């Protein structure tokens, strides 16, 4: 008989995946990043196009971003909150992104990041 993870186990899994996402971003490992998304992901991004559907399209946003950020990208997650349901989990955090663009600009961006994960997908 299959077991259902407890809320604590589910939260631990989400934290583990967010950590894997952050590490993949720091390494600019597109394959590792995309493996964390469901094929039918729908996301709203800071970089145009702002609404992206599908992991292949979302990969293109990362490719464009990495091309203009040749140096390291620092990404920090603060105030992570996770609410677990039977089939989905809702996460909310404040994120801080900084790096150096090809033109030597050093942008710093902060954003509120909501996310929903479905169980049984790459992201859940």
Residue 60 tokens read as 């293109």
Give me the residue label for tokens 């140096």. Answer: 71
Beta pairing partners, 93: 113
CATH code, domain carrying 113: 3.10.450.50
Question: CA–CA distance from 40 to each of 37, 55, 106, 108, 121 (Å)?
Answer: 8, 6, 33, 30, 10
Report yes or no on 17 lying in a domain: yes
Q: Which domain holds residue 106?
A: 7-118
Task: Work out the pLDDT band at 2, boundaries 50, 70, 90.
Answer: very low
Q: Which pLDDT score is estimated for 6?
A: 66
Report yes or no on 56 lying in a domain: yes
Report yes or no on 31 lying in a domain: yes
Residue 119 tokens read as 């169980």
Secondary structure of residue 11 in the 3-state scheme: helix
Report yes or no on 123 lying in a domain: no
Supply the DSSP string of 15-62, one letter for each residue: HHHHHHHHHHHHHT-HHHHHTTS-TT-EEE-SSSSSEEESHHHHHHHH
Report yes or no on 1 lying in a domain: no
Report yes or no on 83 lying in a domain: yes
The alpha carbon dihedral of 18, 23, 28, 31 has a sign of negative
Q: Which pLDDT score is estimated for 4?
A: 52
Report yes or no on 88 lying in a domain: yes
Q: How many domains does the chain have?
A: 1
Q: Cα 47 to the chain's mean position, in Å?
A: 14
Task: Work out the pLDDT band at 22, boundaries 50, 70, 90.
Answer: very high
Q: Which pLDDT score is estimated for 1?
A: 41
Summarize pLDDT for 25-80 with one digit per residue, the tens: 999 999 999 999 999 999 888 778 889 999 999 999 999 999 988 888 999 999 99
Report yes or no on 112 lying in a domain: yes
Summarize pLDDT for 68-122 with one digit per residue, the tens: 888 889 999 999 999 988 888 889 899 888 888 878 878 777 777 767 777 765 5
Give pTM, 2 decimals.
Answer: 0.81
């Amino acid at each position: 008989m299959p077991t259902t993870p407890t809320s604590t186990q589910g939260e631990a899994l989400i934290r583990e995946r967010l950590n894997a996402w952050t590490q993949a971003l720091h390494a600019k490992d597109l394959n590792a990043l995309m493996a964390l998304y469901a094929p039918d992901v729908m996301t709203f991004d800071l970089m145009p196009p702002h609404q992206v559907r599908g992991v292949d399209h979302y990969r293109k946003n990362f490719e464009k971003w990495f091309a203009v950020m040749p140096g390291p990208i620092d990404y920090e997650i603060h105030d992570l909150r996770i609410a677990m349901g039977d089939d989905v989990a809702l996460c909310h955090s404040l994120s801080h992104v900084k790096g150096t663009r090809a033109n030597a600009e050093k942008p710093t961006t902060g954003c509120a990041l909501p996310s929903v994960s479905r169980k049984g997908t790459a992201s859940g």
